[in-house]
Structure 1
Protein backbone atom coordinates (compact mmCIF):
# COMPACT_ATOMS: atom_id res chain seq x y z
CA UNK A 1 0.00 0.00 0.00
CA UNK A 2 1.43 3.38 -0.95
CA UNK A 3 0.79 6.92 0.17
CA UNK A 4 0.19 9.27 -2.73
CA UNK A 5 1.85 12.66 -2.74
CA UNK A 6 -1.58 14.23 -3.03
CA UNK A 7 -4.03 12.08 -1.07
CA UNK A 8 -6.80 10.80 -3.35
CA UNK A 9 -9.25 11.34 -0.52
CA UNK A 10 -8.31 15.00 -0.10
CA UNK A 11 -11.44 15.97 -2.07
CA UNK A 12 -13.63 14.09 0.39
CA UNK A 13 -14.90 16.16 3.29
CA UNK A 14 -13.23 15.19 6.57
CA UNK A 15 -15.29 14.04 9.50
CA UNK A 16 -16.52 17.07 11.40
CA UNK A 17 -14.98 17.50 14.86
CA UNK A 18 -17.30 17.70 17.82
CA UNK A 19 -18.79 21.13 18.46
CA UNK A 20 -16.84 23.09 21.01
CA UNK A 21 -18.44 25.82 23.12
CA UNK A 22 -17.32 29.39 22.55
CA UNK A 23 -14.58 30.47 25.00
CA UNK A 24 -15.72 32.54 27.95
CA UNK A 25 -14.60 36.02 28.90
CA UNK A 26 -11.70 34.73 31.01
CA UNK A 27 -10.37 32.57 28.19
CA UNK A 28 -10.69 35.41 25.67
CA UNK A 29 -8.79 37.73 27.98
CA UNK A 30 -6.02 35.17 28.37
CA UNK A 31 -5.81 34.76 24.60
CA UNK A 32 -5.54 38.54 24.13
CA UNK A 33 -2.78 38.73 26.73
CA UNK A 34 -0.80 35.94 25.06
CA UNK A 35 -1.20 37.63 21.69
CA UNK A 36 -0.06 41.00 23.08
CA UNK A 37 3.02 39.45 24.70
CA UNK A 38 3.97 37.63 21.52
CA UNK A 39 3.42 40.70 19.33
CA UNK A 40 5.62 42.79 21.63
CA UNK A 41 8.32 40.13 21.59
CA UNK A 42 8.38 39.85 17.81
CA UNK A 43 8.57 43.63 17.45
CA UNK A 44 11.47 43.97 19.90
CA UNK A 45 13.40 41.09 18.35
CA UNK A 46 13.05 42.63 14.90
CA UNK A 47 14.27 45.98 16.23
CA UNK A 48 17.15 44.91 18.47
CA UNK A 49 17.70 41.16 18.22
CA UNK A 50 16.83 38.20 20.41
CA UNK A 51 19.61 38.44 23.01
CA UNK A 52 19.04 42.17 23.64
CA UNK A 53 15.32 41.67 24.24
CA UNK A 54 14.43 41.28 27.91
CA UNK A 55 11.31 40.11 29.71
CA UNK A 56 11.04 43.57 31.28
CA UNK A 57 11.02 45.24 27.86
CA UNK A 58 8.43 42.79 26.58
CA UNK A 59 6.21 43.42 29.60
CA UNK A 60 6.43 47.20 29.18
CA UNK A 61 5.53 47.09 25.50
CA UNK A 62 2.69 44.60 26.07
CA UNK A 63 1.46 46.71 29.04
CA UNK A 64 1.59 43.84 31.52
CA UNK A 65 3.88 43.02 34.42
CA UNK A 66 7.04 40.90 34.04
CA UNK A 67 5.44 38.33 36.34
CA UNK A 68 2.49 38.10 33.95
CA UNK A 69 4.84 37.43 31.04
CA UNK A 70 6.52 34.64 32.99
CA UNK A 71 3.18 33.23 34.09
CA UNK A 72 2.12 32.80 30.48
CA UNK A 73 5.58 31.87 29.16
CA UNK A 74 8.04 30.37 31.68
CA UNK A 75 11.05 31.17 29.46
CA UNK A 76 11.72 33.77 26.77
CA UNK A 77 12.15 31.14 24.07
CA UNK A 78 8.62 29.88 24.80
CA UNK A 79 7.23 33.22 23.61
CA UNK A 80 8.54 32.88 20.07
CA UNK A 81 7.40 29.28 19.66
CA UNK A 82 3.85 28.16 19.11
CA UNK A 83 2.95 25.35 21.48
CA UNK A 84 -0.78 25.02 20.85
CA UNK A 85 -0.78 23.02 17.63
CA UNK A 86 -0.15 19.51 18.95
CA UNK A 87 -3.72 18.88 20.15
CA UNK A 88 -5.21 20.43 16.99
CA UNK A 89 -3.00 18.24 14.77
CA UNK A 90 -4.11 15.15 16.66
CA UNK A 91 -7.76 16.22 16.39
CA UNK A 92 -7.45 16.82 12.64
CA UNK A 93 -5.80 13.45 12.16
CA UNK A 94 -8.64 11.76 14.05
CA UNK A 95 -11.15 13.63 11.87
CA UNK A 96 -9.80 12.24 8.59
CA UNK A 97 -11.99 9.61 6.84
CA UNK A 98 -11.75 6.24 8.56
CA UNK A 99 -11.13 4.43 5.25
CA UNK A 100 -8.25 6.70 4.24
CA UNK A 101 -4.82 5.00 4.54
CA UNK A 102 -3.34 6.38 7.72
CA UNK A 103 -0.08 7.56 6.15
CA UNK A 104 -2.08 9.56 3.60
CA UNK A 105 -4.00 11.09 6.51
CA UNK A 106 -0.73 11.96 8.18
CA UNK A 107 0.66 13.56 5.03
CA UNK A 108 -2.52 15.58 4.48
CA UNK A 109 -2.62 16.94 8.04
CA UNK A 110 1.08 17.79 8.33
CA UNK A 111 1.24 19.42 4.91
CA UNK A 112 -1.89 21.44 5.71
CA UNK A 113 -0.34 22.58 9.01
CA UNK A 114 2.80 23.75 7.19
CA UNK A 115 0.72 25.69 4.69
CA UNK A 116 -1.46 27.26 7.35
CA UNK A 117 1.53 28.47 9.35
CA UNK A 118 3.15 30.21 6.40
CA UNK A 119 -0.14 31.67 5.14
CA UNK A 120 -1.47 33.09 8.40
CA UNK A 121 1.58 35.18 9.28
CA UNK A 122 4.51 34.47 6.97
CA UNK A 123 6.76 37.13 8.52
CA UNK A 124 6.39 35.66 12.01
CA UNK A 125 6.90 32.11 10.70
CA UNK A 126 10.12 33.17 8.99
CA UNK A 127 11.33 34.98 12.10
CA UNK A 128 10.61 31.95 14.28
CA UNK A 129 12.47 29.52 12.04
CA UNK A 130 15.38 31.94 11.68
CA UNK A 131 15.66 32.08 15.48
CA UNK A 132 15.66 28.27 15.55
CA UNK A 133 18.80 28.38 13.42
CA UNK A 134 20.50 31.27 15.22
CA UNK A 135 19.59 30.71 18.89
CA UNK A 136 20.45 27.31 20.46
CA UNK A 137 17.97 27.81 23.32
CA UNK A 138 15.11 28.35 20.86
CA UNK A 139 16.11 25.29 18.84
CA UNK A 140 16.34 23.18 22.00
CA UNK A 141 12.92 24.31 23.20
CA UNK A 142 11.42 23.65 19.77
CA UNK A 143 12.81 20.12 19.86
CA UNK A 144 11.11 19.54 23.21
CA UNK A 145 7.83 21.01 21.98
CA UNK A 146 7.83 18.90 18.82
CA UNK A 147 8.62 15.78 20.83
CA UNK A 148 5.43 16.42 22.82
CA UNK A 149 3.54 16.85 19.55
CA UNK A 150 5.04 13.58 18.34
CA UNK A 151 3.65 11.76 21.38
CA UNK A 152 0.17 13.11 20.64
CA UNK A 153 0.43 12.06 17.01
CA UNK A 154 1.69 8.67 18.17
CA UNK A 155 -1.53 8.10 20.07
CA UNK A 156 -3.56 8.65 16.91
CA UNK A 157 -1.23 6.54 14.76
CA UNK A 158 -1.59 3.76 17.32
CA UNK A 159 -5.38 4.01 17.13
CA UNK A 160 -5.34 3.86 13.33
CA UNK A 161 -2.87 0.96 13.12
CA UNK A 162 -4.02 -1.13 16.08
CA UNK A 163 -0.69 -0.80 17.87
CA UNK A 164 0.23 0.36 21.36
CA UNK A 165 1.00 4.08 21.59
CA UNK A 166 4.13 3.36 23.63
CA UNK A 167 5.20 0.50 21.36
CA UNK A 168 8.70 0.61 19.94
CA UNK A 169 7.69 0.90 16.27
CA UNK A 170 5.18 3.69 16.90
CA UNK A 171 7.70 5.63 18.97
CA UNK A 172 10.39 5.26 16.33
CA UNK A 173 8.03 6.36 13.57
CA UNK A 174 6.62 9.39 15.37
CA UNK A 175 10.04 10.61 16.50
CA UNK A 176 11.30 10.14 12.94
CA UNK A 177 8.44 12.37 11.84
CA UNK A 178 9.33 14.94 14.48
CA UNK A 179 12.96 14.93 13.42
CA UNK A 180 12.02 15.23 9.76
CA UNK A 181 9.68 18.16 10.38
CA UNK A 182 12.28 19.93 12.50
CA UNK A 183 14.92 19.49 9.81
CA UNK A 184 12.49 20.74 7.16
CA UNK A 185 12.03 23.96 9.15
CA UNK A 186 15.76 24.38 9.75
CA UNK A 187 16.62 23.71 6.10
CA UNK A 188 13.96 26.21 5.02
CA UNK A 189 15.45 28.93 7.25
CA UNK A 190 19.07 28.11 6.40
CA UNK A 191 18.25 28.55 2.70
CA UNK A 192 16.64 31.97 3.26
CA UNK A 193 13.07 30.64 3.03
CA UNK A 194 13.41 30.27 -0.74
CA UNK A 195 11.83 26.81 -0.91
CA UNK A 196 8.18 26.02 -0.33
CA UNK A 197 7.83 24.71 3.23
CA UNK A 198 4.96 22.41 2.29
CA UNK A 199 7.12 20.79 -0.39
CA UNK A 200 9.95 20.29 2.11
CA UNK A 201 7.50 18.63 4.52
CA UNK A 202 6.37 16.37 1.67
CA UNK A 203 9.98 15.40 0.94
CA UNK A 204 10.63 14.74 4.63
CA UNK A 205 7.65 12.39 4.72
CA UNK A 206 8.98 10.59 1.66
CA UNK A 207 12.28 9.98 3.45
CA UNK A 208 10.50 8.73 6.57
CA UNK A 209 8.41 6.45 4.35
CA UNK A 210 11.14 4.76 2.32
CA UNK A 211 14.52 6.28 3.14
CA UNK A 212 16.85 7.81 0.57
CA UNK A 213 15.96 7.17 -3.05
CA UNK A 214 18.79 6.85 -5.60
CA UNK A 215 19.38 9.62 -8.08
CA UNK A 216 17.70 13.02 -7.96
CA UNK A 217 16.27 13.50 -4.43
CA UNK A 218 13.41 15.55 -5.83
CA UNK A 219 12.47 12.86 -8.33
CA UNK A 220 11.69 10.23 -5.72
CA UNK A 221 8.46 8.34 -6.12
CA UNK A 222 5.64 8.06 -3.60
CA UNK A 223 6.34 6.55 -0.20
CA UNK A 224 5.36 3.02 0.75
CA UNK A 225 3.32 3.04 3.91
CA UNK A 226 5.16 1.72 6.98
CA UNK A 227 3.35 -1.33 8.32
Structure 2
Protein backbone atom coordinates (compact mmCIF):
# COMPACT_ATOMS: atom_id res chain seq x y z
CA UNK A 1 0.00 0.00 0.00
CA UNK A 2 1.43 3.37 -0.97
CA UNK A 3 1.81 6.24 1.49
CA UNK A 4 -1.12 8.04 -0.12
CA UNK A 5 -3.32 4.94 0.15
CA UNK A 6 -2.35 4.50 3.81
CA UNK A 7 -3.18 8.14 4.55
CA UNK A 8 -6.56 7.80 2.84
CA UNK A 9 -7.29 4.63 4.83
CA UNK A 10 -6.27 6.33 8.09
CA UNK A 11 -8.49 9.34 7.30
CA UNK A 12 -11.42 7.06 6.42
CA UNK A 13 -10.90 5.09 9.63
CA UNK A 14 -10.67 8.26 11.77
CA UNK A 15 -13.86 9.67 10.23
CA UNK A 16 -15.73 6.41 10.74
CA UNK A 17 -14.58 6.05 14.35
CA UNK A 18 -15.67 9.61 15.15
CA UNK A 19 -19.00 9.12 13.38
CA UNK A 20 -19.80 5.94 15.27
CA UNK A 21 -18.79 7.53 18.57
CA UNK A 22 -21.13 10.46 17.88
CA UNK A 23 -23.96 8.18 16.73
CA UNK A 24 -23.64 6.12 19.91
CA UNK A 25 -23.41 9.21 22.17
CA UNK A 26 -25.98 11.49 20.49
CA UNK A 27 -28.05 9.15 18.35
CA UNK A 28 -27.88 8.46 14.66
CA UNK A 29 -30.65 10.85 13.61
CA UNK A 30 -29.44 13.67 15.88
CA UNK A 31 -25.91 13.65 14.44
CA UNK A 32 -25.18 15.49 11.20
CA UNK A 33 -22.39 14.96 8.70
CA UNK A 34 -21.10 18.41 9.72
CA UNK A 35 -20.88 17.16 13.32
CA UNK A 36 -18.87 14.19 12.14
CA UNK A 37 -16.57 16.36 10.02
CA UNK A 38 -15.88 18.70 12.95
CA UNK A 39 -15.15 15.80 15.32
CA UNK A 40 -12.79 14.19 12.80
CA UNK A 41 -11.05 17.48 11.99
CA UNK A 42 -11.93 17.39 8.29
CA UNK A 43 -14.35 19.18 5.99
CA UNK A 44 -17.82 17.85 5.22
CA UNK A 45 -16.60 17.40 1.61
CA UNK A 46 -13.85 15.07 2.86
CA UNK A 47 -16.45 13.04 4.76
CA UNK A 48 -18.57 12.74 1.60
CA UNK A 49 -15.51 11.84 -0.49
CA UNK A 50 -14.93 8.81 1.74
CA UNK A 51 -18.55 8.05 2.64
CA UNK A 52 -21.10 9.09 -0.02
CA UNK A 53 -24.04 8.68 2.38
CA UNK A 54 -24.57 9.02 6.10
CA UNK A 55 -25.43 5.31 6.26
CA UNK A 56 -22.02 4.46 4.79
CA UNK A 57 -20.39 5.98 7.88
CA UNK A 58 -21.68 2.96 9.79
CA UNK A 59 -22.00 0.29 7.13
CA UNK A 60 -18.74 0.71 5.22
CA UNK A 61 -16.17 -2.01 5.80
CA UNK A 62 -13.74 -4.14 3.85
CA UNK A 63 -15.51 -7.42 4.62
CA UNK A 64 -16.52 -7.98 0.96
CA UNK A 65 -12.91 -7.74 -0.19
CA UNK A 66 -11.66 -9.66 2.84
CA UNK A 67 -14.20 -12.44 2.25
CA UNK A 68 -13.33 -12.71 -1.45
CA UNK A 69 -9.60 -12.83 -0.66
CA UNK A 70 -10.07 -15.32 2.19
CA UNK A 71 -12.27 -17.74 0.23
CA UNK A 72 -9.77 -17.82 -2.60
CA UNK A 73 -6.90 -18.52 -0.16
CA UNK A 74 -8.63 -21.37 1.68
CA UNK A 75 -8.44 -24.90 0.25
CA UNK A 76 -11.05 -25.31 -2.49
CA UNK A 77 -12.44 -28.46 -0.92
CA UNK A 78 -15.85 -29.19 0.49
CA UNK A 79 -19.29 -27.91 -0.38
CA UNK A 80 -19.98 -24.23 -0.97
CA UNK A 81 -21.65 -24.16 2.46
CA UNK A 82 -18.48 -25.48 4.12
CA UNK A 83 -16.18 -23.14 2.16
CA UNK A 84 -18.31 -20.08 2.90
CA UNK A 85 -18.64 -21.13 6.54
CA UNK A 86 -14.87 -21.41 6.90
CA UNK A 87 -14.50 -17.98 5.28
CA UNK A 88 -17.00 -16.35 7.64
CA UNK A 89 -15.29 -18.02 10.59
CA UNK A 90 -11.88 -16.70 9.51
CA UNK A 91 -13.38 -13.23 9.03
CA UNK A 92 -15.03 -13.33 12.47
CA UNK A 93 -11.75 -14.47 14.03
CA UNK A 94 -10.03 -11.42 12.58
CA UNK A 95 -12.88 -8.94 13.13
CA UNK A 96 -13.55 -9.87 16.74
CA UNK A 97 -9.95 -9.29 17.75
CA UNK A 98 -9.32 -6.16 15.66
CA UNK A 99 -11.40 -3.12 16.67
CA UNK A 100 -13.84 -5.29 18.63
CA UNK A 101 -15.58 -2.30 20.25
CA UNK A 102 -16.01 -0.55 16.91
CA UNK A 103 -17.57 -3.68 15.44
CA UNK A 104 -19.87 -4.02 18.42
CA UNK A 105 -20.96 -0.36 18.22
CA UNK A 106 -21.54 -0.66 14.46
CA UNK A 107 -23.62 -3.76 14.98
CA UNK A 108 -25.74 -2.15 17.70
CA UNK A 109 -26.38 0.83 15.43
CA UNK A 110 -27.39 -1.46 12.54
CA UNK A 111 -29.81 -3.33 14.77
CA UNK A 112 -31.42 -0.27 16.34
CA UNK A 113 -31.59 2.24 13.46
CA UNK A 114 -34.32 1.69 10.84
CA UNK A 115 -32.44 3.53 8.06
CA UNK A 116 -29.42 1.29 8.62
CA UNK A 117 -31.47 -1.91 8.76
CA UNK A 118 -32.67 -1.36 5.20
CA UNK A 119 -29.21 -0.48 3.87
CA UNK A 120 -27.70 -3.46 5.69
CA UNK A 121 -29.53 -5.72 3.24
CA UNK A 122 -27.54 -4.10 0.41
CA UNK A 123 -24.28 -4.96 2.14
CA UNK A 124 -25.48 -8.54 2.67
CA UNK A 125 -26.16 -8.79 -1.06
CA UNK A 126 -22.66 -7.50 -1.88
CA UNK A 127 -21.14 -10.02 0.52
CA UNK A 128 -23.15 -12.82 -1.09
CA UNK A 129 -21.83 -11.71 -4.49
CA UNK A 130 -18.28 -11.72 -3.11
CA UNK A 131 -18.70 -15.37 -2.14
CA UNK A 132 -20.09 -16.30 -5.55
CA UNK A 133 -17.20 -14.47 -7.22
CA UNK A 134 -14.66 -16.01 -4.85
CA UNK A 135 -15.79 -19.58 -5.51
CA UNK A 136 -16.03 -18.82 -9.24
CA UNK A 137 -17.72 -22.02 -10.40
CA UNK A 138 -20.35 -21.20 -13.04
CA UNK A 139 -21.74 -24.74 -12.84
CA UNK A 140 -22.49 -24.31 -9.13
CA UNK A 141 -23.51 -20.63 -9.10
CA UNK A 142 -27.08 -21.30 -7.92
CA UNK A 143 -25.89 -23.67 -5.19
CA UNK A 144 -23.21 -21.19 -4.12
CA UNK A 145 -25.66 -18.30 -4.01
CA UNK A 146 -28.11 -20.36 -1.90
CA UNK A 147 -25.30 -21.50 0.41
CA UNK A 148 -24.06 -17.92 0.81
CA UNK A 149 -27.55 -16.71 1.74
CA UNK A 150 -27.98 -19.50 4.29
CA UNK A 151 -24.53 -19.04 5.86
CA UNK A 152 -25.02 -15.27 6.04
CA UNK A 153 -28.32 -15.89 7.85
CA UNK A 154 -26.46 -18.04 10.36
CA UNK A 155 -23.76 -15.38 10.69
CA UNK A 156 -26.38 -12.71 11.33
CA UNK A 157 -27.93 -14.84 14.06
CA UNK A 158 -24.51 -15.20 15.72
CA UNK A 159 -23.90 -11.46 15.43
CA UNK A 160 -27.26 -10.66 17.04
CA UNK A 161 -26.48 -13.01 19.94
CA UNK A 162 -22.98 -11.52 20.31
CA UNK A 163 -24.45 -8.00 20.47
CA UNK A 164 -27.13 -9.06 22.95
CA UNK A 165 -24.36 -10.45 25.17
CA UNK A 166 -22.39 -7.18 24.84
CA UNK A 167 -19.57 -8.97 23.06
CA UNK A 168 -18.80 -11.08 26.12
CA UNK A 169 -18.93 -14.37 24.20
CA UNK A 170 -16.57 -15.43 21.48
CA UNK A 171 -18.06 -14.40 18.13
CA UNK A 172 -16.31 -17.23 16.27
CA UNK A 173 -17.63 -19.77 18.80
CA UNK A 174 -21.18 -18.41 18.52
CA UNK A 175 -20.91 -18.73 14.75
CA UNK A 176 -19.59 -22.30 15.03
CA UNK A 177 -22.48 -23.21 17.33
CA UNK A 178 -25.10 -21.67 15.03
CA UNK A 179 -23.50 -23.24 11.94
CA UNK A 180 -23.45 -26.70 13.52
CA UNK A 181 -27.03 -26.48 14.73
CA UNK A 182 -28.21 -25.30 11.31
CA UNK A 183 -26.21 -27.51 8.95
CA UNK A 184 -25.48 -30.50 11.19
CA UNK A 185 -21.75 -30.27 10.58
CA UNK A 186 -18.98 -28.51 12.42
CA UNK A 187 -16.35 -26.19 11.09
Per the normalisation by structure 1, the TM-score is: 0.72
Q: Is structure 2 residue 103 aligned with structure 1 residue 125?
A: yes
Aligned to 2:139: 163
The total of aligned residue pairs comes to: 186
Q: Secondary structure at the match of 1:91?
A: helix
Deviation at 1:208, TM superposition (A): 4.8
Report which stretch shifted further, 189-198 or 30-39: 189-198
- Closer, same or farther in 2 for the Cα pair 1:150/1:140, shift >3 Å? same
More RCO (CA 8 Å, sep 6+): 1
Deviation at 1:184, TM superposition (A): 2.1
**Structure 1 segment 126-141 matched on structure 2, within 5 A:** 126-141=104-119
The unaligned stretches of length 5 or more in structure 1 are 1-22, 211-221
Deviation at 1:207, TM superposition (A): 4.8
Partners of 1:55 and 1:66 within 8 A in 2: yes
| Cα offsets for 1:81-137 (capped at 9, x unmatched) | 243121221111111234x32444433321121121111112111111111221122
Aligned to 2:78: 101
Partners of 1:133 and 1:189 within 8 A in 2: no
Aligned to 2:132: 154
**Structure 1 segment 16-165 matched on structure 2, within 5 A:** 23-98=1-76, 100-102=77-79, 103-159=81-137, 163-165=139-141
**CA–CA distance in structure 2, aligned partners of residues 83 and 142 of structure 1:** 12
**CA–CA distance in structure 2, aligned partners of residues 155 and 164 of structure 1:** 11
Q: Secondary structure at the match of 2:55?
A: helix
The unaligned stretches of length 5 or more in structure 2 are none
Aligned to 1:179: 153
| Cα offsets for 1:128-161 (capped at 9, x unmatched) | 11112211222222221121011110233343xx
**Structure 1 segment 10-21 matched on structure 2, within 5 A:** none
Partners of 1:163 and 1:170 within 8 A in 2: no
Partners of 2:84 and 2:151 within 8 A in 1: no
- Closer, same or farther in 2 for the Cα pair 1:204/1:150, shift >3 Å? farther
